[in-house]
């Protein structure tokens, strides 16, 4: 299995390499790919050194699967070229997510939609993945009418520059700014740029992608996305209104038996999800599960996951694992 990692020198690319190794993914040949300025650099994978190659070289090498994490513009330009060469692309950018001809996949929810004809597959947004993994089984049981979500998102979602900004601010050092404002001791109510409706792109990803993954355009979703000075992962306060009533203990039991979800919900022992516990893990953690007493058939939850792992690298690799297991590549 010849695997290209496009964006291998970036933050998500590095995590992809780590997750591939941890999961003993069947790599017979690794092709690390990056922009021209990184060509010739060496990366390490399972104790071996590999030279980074450029995009066209990688296309010509005809990998079986290309794991893309190199930004939307790069993906729009190069994913079709890889696909035309017979490579199946799993793309981590927003480029293809809402394309009606492309599948948007969280393996535990909708991997069975995939066919051998799908040569460009979209990986959802990190904040969407962790939310829908929890919502999917509850939607099946109680039918979701409306979701209100507020996110508290790690600076790692912005990238290395943001991590450097926070470290500089901790140290009192002037440096490049990833954000328009300091992030240390601050919360910035803007993730990504603003759309015409006053919502940010990140907020609208939560709206649009949730409907597509759950295959239900009737679900109403509204979101507020906030950047906080956290490294370990994204947190979300999620309020869900159902068509049908529920029992809170039954909700906990459903989520306890959901693949990829870990319930951490015990007020007596102060047990609830936090980014410091989610960091470096592949699961989605859910807690503070309680009835919204202000409205019928409505539930509150707190959902946390490592945005670089299940929110990006791990989900991408799980899609690849499914393709291999189902003999679609």
Binding-site residue numbers for NADP(+) are 9-12, 37-38, 307
For the record, the structure tokens of 162 come out as 């943001």
Distances (CA, A) of 210 to 67, 71, 319: 22, 21, 18
Binding residues: 9-12, 37-38, 97, 153, 227, 307
Return the active site residues: 126, 234
Sheet of 29-33: strand order equals 29-33, 2-6, 65-68, 88-91, 120-122
Whether the CB-CB separation of 240 and 146 falls below 8 Å is answered with: yes
The whole-angstrom distance between residue 101's C-alpha and the CA centroid of its chain comes to: 20
Gap between the Cα atoms of 240 and 149, Å rounded: 9
d(CA 82, CA 304): 34
Contacts of 22 (CB under 8 A, 6+ apart): none
Two structure tokens written together for 146: 């409306």
Q: What is the CA radius of gyration of the chain?
A: 20
User: Both tokens of residue 4?
Assistant: 């290209």
């Amino acid at each position: 299995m010849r695997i290209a990692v496009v964006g291998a020198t970036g933050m998500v690319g590095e995590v992809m390499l780590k997750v591939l190794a941890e999961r003993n993914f069947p790599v017979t040949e690794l092709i690390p790919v990056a922009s021209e300025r990184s060509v010739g650099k060496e990366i390490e994978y399972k104790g071996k050194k590999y030279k980074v190659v450029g995009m066209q070289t990688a296309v010509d090498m005809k990998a079986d699967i290309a794991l893309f994490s190199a930004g939307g513009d790069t993906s729009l330009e190069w994913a079709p070229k890889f696909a035309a060469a017979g490579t199946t692309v799993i793309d981590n950018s927003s480029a293809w997510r809402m394309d009606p001809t492309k599948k948007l996949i969280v393996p535990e929810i909708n991997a069975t939609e995939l066919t051998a004809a799908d040569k460009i597959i979209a990986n959802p947004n990190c904040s969407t993945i962790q939310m829908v993994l929890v919502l999917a089984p509850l939607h099946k049981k109680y039918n979701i009418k409306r979701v209100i979500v507020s996110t508290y998102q790690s600076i790692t979602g912005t990238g290395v520059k943001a991590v450097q900004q926070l470290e500089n601010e901790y140290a009192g050092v002037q440096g490049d700014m990833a954000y328009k404002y300091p992030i240390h001791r601050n919360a910035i109510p803007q993730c990504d740029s603003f759309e015409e409706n006053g919502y940010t792109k990140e907020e609208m990803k939560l709206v649009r992608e949730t409907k597509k993954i759950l295959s239900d355009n009737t679900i109403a979703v509204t979101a507020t996305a906030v950047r906080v000075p956290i490294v370990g992962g994204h947190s979300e306060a999620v309020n869900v209104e159902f068509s049908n009533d529920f029992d809170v203990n039954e909700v906990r039991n459903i989520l306890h038996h959901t693949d990829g979800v870990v319930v951490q919900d015990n007020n007596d022992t102060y047990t609830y999800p936090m980014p410091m516990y989610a960091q470096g893990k592949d699961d989605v953690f859910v807690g503070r599960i309680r009835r919204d007493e202000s409205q019928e058939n409505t539930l509150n939850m707190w959902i946390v996951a490592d945005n670089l792992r299940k929110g990006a690298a791990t989900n991408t690799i799980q899609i690849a694992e499914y393709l291999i297991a189902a003999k679609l590549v």
